Structure 1
Amino acid sequence: MAELKNDRFLRALLREPVDMTPVWMMRQAGRYLPEYKATRAQAGDFMSLCKNAELACEVTLQPLERYDLDAAILFSDILTIPDAMGLGLYFETGEGPRFRKIIRSAADVEALPIPKAASDLDYVMNAVKTIRSALNGRVPLIGFSGSPWTLATYMVEGGSSKDFRHIKQMMYATPEVMHQLLDKLAQSVTDYLNEQIRSGAQAVQIFDTWGGVLSPQMYMEFSLRYMRQIVDGLIREHDGRKVPVILFTKNGGQWLETMAEAGADALGLDWTTNIDDARRRVGDKVALQGNMDPSVLYASPERIRAEVADILERFGPGDGHVFNLGHGIHQFVDPASAGVFVDAVHELSAKYHR
């Protein structure tokens, strides 16, 4: 593998000195870019794009051609594991992800296989290898997965949900069934992320998109417990380098102290938590990633720069900050605004690292 020319992102996750704050964007390869829309149209549909290693590589690299980003993230979907379990993932226009088979009973959970990432999800590994080779050491490649709780919500609800009625019913009425499902998913995610690391991912992120819908006690029992199980089972060094792990629970800012004890190297923050408060609460246990509201990118260049400046000032001098949005970039954002954001982070952050 080519030597890494820009390791700013990996160093920041490990709280090592950097010359400026590294930056990437969740969903940086996606619908806000006209070139992405063209490639997706060429692929035919979303899953065909994910399963074509060359096209997945192409869209992963597209934002790096436009912006001075410090990391690339694998182009894939968080629901690849349930799909490999035989649930039949598909996408309805305007509806988001759906499953042909829904998990509602103990028998359903019992029947679920634990996929082998190397064979059942080989298309993801082919994409990781292809992207890593094409990057040629330019920036690190991030691999990722959904958290067990988040994957389970889609599997039990059958798709997106506003009230999480079915999964919360399973959690409260038959907790033993819920735990069995989450344990199978934790085993699957551990194997999946480790296979991504073996294939070339240099850092991994666990996306707990729906952890924030739980009460504190239920979050600890049904979400964080299984993310901790995954972190404990991950490869943390590969090819002579540490492989940092990021945990991101959307709307999880109230649990940062407990999350910081879970064994990850960094915690992702959404925009509902002040980063100065988060830094004070976690101390030097973990790095922090975040956390500008993606909607700021609808504002003027001056307003975008002012928001970047405020977050950098709140974090203050020192290491252990990866700048990111608090969630994925919106599809209606002007690509030029994303460029203003990325450039502002590099330009305005250097003074905090001298």
Structure 2
Amino acid sequence: MIKNDLFLRALKGETVDRPPVWMMRQAGRYLPEFQEIKKKYDFFTRCRTPELASEITVQPIRRYGMDAAILFSDILVVPQAMNVEVQMKPDFGPYLPNPIRTQNDVDRVVVPDVKVELDYVYQAIKATKEKLNDEIPLIGFAGSPWTILCYMVQGQGSKNFDKAKELCFTKPVAAHQLLQKITDTTIAYLKAKVAAGVNAVQVFDSWGGMLSPVDYQEFSWQYIQQIINALKEEAPVIAFGKGCWFALNEMSKSGAAALGVDWTCSARNARYLSGGNITLQGNFDPSRLLSPPAEIKKMVHQMINDFGKDKYIVNLGHGILPNIPLENAKAFVDAVKEYKVN
């Protein structure tokens, strides 16, 4: 039994004394103890070495005591397993030297045996579970098929993912084949994560907001829905679509346990658009963690009041930034722990 099950109870919609808190990208760049590991090992070595990944996962828990841990990994381990080369270039980000642009390219992408190709992730989960010792739940994650396609086709990060959209709009058959391959791989990958011990999973649709509402349904949401359908009986699923407020109503009927909300959508609108019955997660602007700690605490309390303490998980509206002062991250977590209903 997990001693602090506040996060899991919030996912079930149970009444709680205060909402749980964790932060997207909490395991990573803003922590000096992470920077020490980073000096010694390159990015994918950190992901692929269970001892390192598990250590990085628990670092923020030791420091701040969040109510959930999220496994240190990367969404791009999935394309790597699918026979697509991915490099992580310092001061640049992900770089895929052979982007997928044609039907022939799509044909070369494989649906792998995830138990073999991604075994290091499951070993990291087991190592992390030992370190956590059932104190708090562990979250596993994957990128949405659309978001993975964006990187596979663009070959790098982008402000508009124009090449990814071009493939979808000029070669829709190839695009849907690629999306289905990613979906099938992701379902197998997340199921194996649950079997290895994660207590919940989150699907990150980081680039969903790049699509119009109509295109979102065709090229993103229907594939996320397949993932939710395949996983929801095995573990709670959180769906997070950055910039996808327009889809909250449909998402709320998907069988997901919770929906992530970014900082551009108010608590009131998020509750209204999602029908008011599903657990929501978010939506503090990550840049607002640059505000003075006293102000952060005040804003967090206001955010909880706006969302309501039940069916709510306190989080950022996207990943924590590398330049956030340690005491400011602490103020964010402490504000939730100190929260009392007025």
Which residue of 2 is the match for residue 97 of structure 1? Answer: 94
Cα distance, 1:19 vs structure 2: 2.0
Amino acid at match of 1:214: L
Which residue of 2 is the match for residue 240 of structure 1? Answer: none
Aligned pair 1:176/2:173, yes or no? yes
Range with greater deviation from structure 2 (275-284 or 183-192): 275-284
Amino acid at match of 1:300: P
CA distance in 1, matches of 2:302, 2:246: 21
Amino acid at match of 2:27: A
Amino acid at match of 1:220: Q
Cα distance, 1:316 vs structure 2: 2.6
Amino acid at match of 2:24: M
CA distance in 1, matches of 2:320, 2:256: 24
CA contact (8 A) 2:232 2:256 kept: no
CA contact (8 A) 1:81 1:115 kept: no
Which residue of 1 is the match for residue 341 of structure 2? Answer: 351
TM superposition score normalised by structure 1: 0.94
CA distance in 2, matches of 1:303, 1:284: 28
Overall identity of the aligned pairs, in %: 46
Which residue of 1 is the match for residue 16 of structure 2? Answer: 18
Cα distance, 1:205 vs structure 2: 0.1
**Correspondences of 1:308-347 after superposition (within 5 Å):** 308-317=300-309, 319-347=310-338
Aligned pair 1:251/2:239, yes or no? no
Q: 2:149 aligns with which of 136, 148, 152?
A: 152
CA distance in 1, matches of 2:69, 2:283: 18
Which residue of 2 is the match for residue 30 of structure 1? Answer: 28
Gaps of 5+ in 1: 238-242
Amino acid at match of 1:5: K
CA contact (8 A) 2:293 2:327 kept: no
CA contact (8 A) 1:92 1:98 kept: yes
Structure 1: 4+ residue segments shifted above 4 A = none
Which residue of 1 is the match for residue 110 of structure 2? Answer: 113
Gaps of 5+ in 2: none
CA distance in 2, matches of 1:305, 1:130: 34
CA distance in 2, matches of 1:36, 1:160: 23
CA distance in 2, matches of 1:312, 1:235: 27
Matched position secondary structure for 1:264: coil
Which residue of 1 is the match for residue 265 of structure 2? Answer: 273
CA contact (8 A) 1:197 1:235 kept: no
Cα distance, 1:254 vs structure 2: 1.9
C-alpha deviations, 1:1-60, integer Å up to 9, x for none? xx2100000110110122211000000011110000101223x20100111101111110
CA distance in 1, matches of 2:9, 2:270: 20
C-alpha deviations, 1:221-276, integer Å up to 9, x for none? 11000000111111623xxxxx2100000011122101112221100000000112
Matched position secondary structure for 1:297: helix
Cα distance, 1:284 vs structure 2: 4.4
CA distance in 2, matches of 1:284, 1:216: 21
**Correspondences of 1:1-354 after superposition (within 5 Å):** 3-42=1-40, 44-234=41-231, 236-237=233-234, 243-317=235-309, 319-348=310-339, 350-351=340-341
Range with greater deviation from structure 2 (220-229 or 158-167): 158-167
CA distance in 1, matches of 2:112, 2:199: 23
CA distance in 1, matches of 2:63, 2:286: 18
CA distance in 2, matches of 1:313, 1:17: 15
Matched position secondary structure for 1:21: coil
